[in-house]
Amino acid sequence: MPLWSRDPAVRAIRQMVERMPQRSSVDLTPSSTMAALVLGSTNESTTVMDLASQTIVRWRIPWPAGVETDLAAFDVVEGLLAAEVERNDLAMPEAVTLEGLPRRLGSYRGRRIRPWLEQAATPADGPLFGFRGPSAPYWEFRGERPSVALIAADRGPQLLRRYEDGSTWVRFGWLGDDVWLVCEDTHAIRTMEATRRPALAGKDLATSLGFRPAYVLTTLTRPHDGHVYKSCTGLLPRG
């Protein structure tokens, strides 16, 4: 008998997700509640998929000083949109502000997620985020470029550890480009620290992560010194 059918909490989350009334577009009405599936989370921004429309949204969460995000991929969360959602960041057109911390309801994995991720995957029609290189000046953005790209890599991904500064990087191939991004995925970073290896790829990476990474979740950062940077905020399985 499947675990979810024996555990009432797991069964309740599954029923909630699968019975969610569907909409053709995301509802961003100020002060409304959004139920979502976490794809990746940092203190700067949390990327979620609205469960009612399967639209990708970025949440600005007012984490208290000194508190790190504890949200993980495929967590089911509920967030209250702020009275002023602040949809005015030209480099992050998907971003909205939450009134407070989101409420974690549980987690959800299953085959139903697979077509959602496949549909959300970024088409191979040009360089990542529309520009080459690791960054672009903030003044070049007009709110027309997406700030999230879910990448099904041509090669990789591979995790690498730079001992000079302790940073973790993700390397993957896409459209003939050899892409290197700083990794901000907490699970991936802890995996590299635990293995104490300079690089992980293929079966070794899948074994260490606990799943075979099928997607690289990439996002644009907030402006730093006038530039917006590409980063990896999640390695995700197929579903």
CATH assignment of the domain containing 79: 2.40.50.140
Residue 6 backbone phi and psi in degrees, to 5: -95, -30
Could you tell me the two tokens for 12? 């309740």
Question: Are 60 and 83 found together in one domain?
Answer: yes
pLDDT digits (tens, 9 = 90+) for 177-234: 999 999 999 999 999 999 999 999 999 999 999 999 999 999 999 999 999 999 999 9
pTM of the full predicted structure? 0.94
Question: Are 120 and 215 found together in one domain?
Answer: yes
The whole domain housing 93 covers 3-110
Are 106 and 74 a contacting pair, CB within 8 Å? no
The pLDDT > 90 percentage for the chain reads 87
Count of structural domains within the chain: 2
Question: Are 141 and 41 found together in one domain?
Answer: no
Out of 69, 94, 110, pick the residue that ends a domain: 110
What confidence category does residue 5 fall into, taking pLDDT thresholds of 50, 70 and 90? Answer: low
